[in-house]
Chains A and B, each alone.
Chain A
C-alpha cells in the first residue's frame, strides 16, 4: 500500500527567510502525481503545487518550489521569502496512475511564521 510520511509535525521560520518542509512516500508505481496543499486557520484546503512523476524538472509556483527526488521517494517543499500569510498546516499528498482521484495524504506539518 502507498504511504506518505511527513516527519516534521511543526516548523517555524522567520519572516522573509526560507524554509523547507519534508515529505517521503512509498510506492511501487512509476507513474504518479504528488501535491502540496495548504490549510490555513480558515480550514480551507488550497493547492500549492503539483508534480508529475515522469517530469524530471521540479515544479515551481512563485515563492514555492519542490525538490523531487524520484529514486529517493522524496518530495520536499521550499518556501522562499516567507510571509505571515504562509502560516498554515501543509499536507503532502500522492495519487497513483489509474485515474481514480484517490489522494493519500501525509500527517501534515504546521508552519509558524515569526515576524
Chain B
C-alpha cells in the first residue's frame, strides 16, 4: 500500500499561471479532502469529497477547483495562481467521515 500520494512535492509558479496538484490513494477510501497549511493558522479545508462524483466546498474554496471522477484520485486545480496561495497543501483520505484521516506528504507551493 502506497497510502496517499501527492505530486509534486515542491512547485514554484508565477502569478496568473494555472496548475493541478495530484492526489491519489490506494486504500479504497470514499472520503477525500484538500487542506492548506499556513503558519499560525493550522490546516484549513479547501474542498472535500464523500465519494466519486460528489464534491463540496470547505472553508477556503476560492481560487481552487476539484473533481472526483474515480475513487482513487482527487486533483486540486489552481485556476490563476496568486501570491496568497503560497502555502503547503495536504491531501487526506478516510474510510468513513468520522475515521482517522490519512494524509499525503504535502506539496509546498510558492507563487511569485
Contacts and interface: CB of A to CB of B under 8 A. Distances in A.
Interface of A: 4, 6, 9, 33, 35, 43-45, 47, 50, 52, 91, 93, 95, 98-108
B58 A45 contact: no
B101 interface: yes
A102 B58 contact: yes
B103 to A, nearest CB: 4
Interface in B41-72: 41-45, 48, 50, 56, 58-59
Given A43-B106, A50-B100, A103 B88 contact: no
B101 A105 contact: no
Given A9-B40, A101-B48, A102-B58, 14 more contacts: A33-B98, A43-B88, A47-B101, A95-B98, A99-B50, A99-B97, A100-B56, A102-B97, A103-B101, A105-B43, A105-B44, A107-B40, A107-B42, A108-B42
A35 B94 CA distance: 14
Interface string B92-105: 10101110110101
A42 to B, nearest CB: 8
Given A43-B88, A107-B40, A108-B42, A98 B97 contact: yes
Contacts of B41: 107
20 contacts: A9-B40, A33-B98, A43-B88, A44-B103, A47-B100, A52-B98, A95-B98, A98-B97, A99-B50, A99-B96, A100-B56, A101-B32, A101-B33, A101-B94, A102-B97, A103-B92, A103-B101, A104-B45, A105-B44, A106-B42
